[in-house]
Structure formats: structure tokens, C-alpha cells
Amino acid sequence: MKTFIIENNLPCGQKGAPVWSFLPDSALCNAGKPFFIPENTGSIRAFISPIIKITRLGKSIAPRFSKRYYSEAAPAIHFRDIEKREFLIKHGLPADMSQAFDRSMILGDFENADLIMGDKPLTLYKNNEKVDEWGIDNLSIPVDGLFPEISASNTLKMGDYLIPALSQGTDVKIGDNLELRLGERTLLVVPIK
């Protein structure tokens, strides 16, 4: 199973073809448990996004066929060690260590993709204060436009995941409580321990 994270798909990102990173299976965690900040980490930042479940095998997918490859998405919160990430990038090293640790991606329940990625944005609240937002209208490349780019060099398989873009993110610390909402509906609650 592969999880693709598109790293440059917001207006503030680097322009051009999509660039992606991968997460290992051990990074994915279902909702219902706290996020424990790993030892020996720097500044931890939480990012939000829908995570799209791939439902069939595909290679070199044309844009008009992209919708055949997914029907469900789930809300997700992804945690990254920003200090470590900046250090690694500054020294020309892969940034995987800063984001691919165990339980760094917490997933909510899968629902119809059009609902999760519809007109209403995903909104993150930290300690009951709105701190971040993710909306489909902010993508530089629409979701269906990502499938041809990724599948040109990677075979998509049933059970793979795609994160079309991460939000701007917010710093978190022990004792914070994160709540991810769609409109007034709470989709995901993650205490930080």
C-alpha cells in the first residue's frame, strides 16, 4: 500500500508538475486515540487534508477516467517535525524522517468523496479556536488532474491513498486538543499527549 502526498498543490507552493512524497503503512492510524509527540522531536505542526482511497488498479490514467479510481475520502490530520524537516531540506537530504514516523497520519471515517471534498471546507480547531482550513477551491491542480501525473510513473493499486494537498498547518504541543470539522459536524478529535 502506498500513500502519496502532493507537496506543491496550493497557490503558495512551487509551480509546475506535482511533486509527491510517500508515507509508510505504519504512519497511518485510525481515529479514536491521542497523538503522542515522539521523543527527540522539535516543533510539531499539524496539517489537515482529505485522504482519497484508490479503488482499482490503474496505470497511465487519462484525466477523463480519474473518477473511476476513487469514490471515498476521509478527513485526516498529518503531523510533521518542522525543525527536522527544515534541517534536512537545507542540507539537501530527504525529508522523510520528519513526517513518516509511526502514527503521523490520523484518519477519520471514509465517506462519499464528494461530501468530504465538496463546497464546505474542512476546518481545524485547536482548543476550540479556528486555526486552519482546507478547501477544494484552493488546489492548483484539481484532484482528477493528479491521477495522470502520478500514474504515469507509479501503478495505482486498490487500497492506495492520495492526499491532494496539505493545509498551511498549525503548531501543536502537549495538552492541545484538535477538532476537525466539516461545517458544524465534527469528523475527528485528536488530543495531543
CA-CA distance, 179 to 172, in Å (whole number)?
A: 12
Is the confidence at residue 13, as pLDDT, over 80? Answer: no
Q: Work out the pLDDT band at 69, boundaries 50, 70, 90.
A: very high
Mean pLDDT check: name the lowest of 13-17, 60-64, 75-79, 90-94.
13-17
Rounded to two decimals, the pTM is 0.94
**35 three-class SS:** strand
80-115 residues labelled b (16+ CB within 10 A) or e (exposed):
bbbebbeebeeeeeebeebbbbebbbbbbebbebee
Please state which CATH number belongs to domain 3-191: 3.90.850.10
Domain boundaries, the chain: 3-191
**125 three-class SS:** strand
Mean pLDDT within 159-180: 97
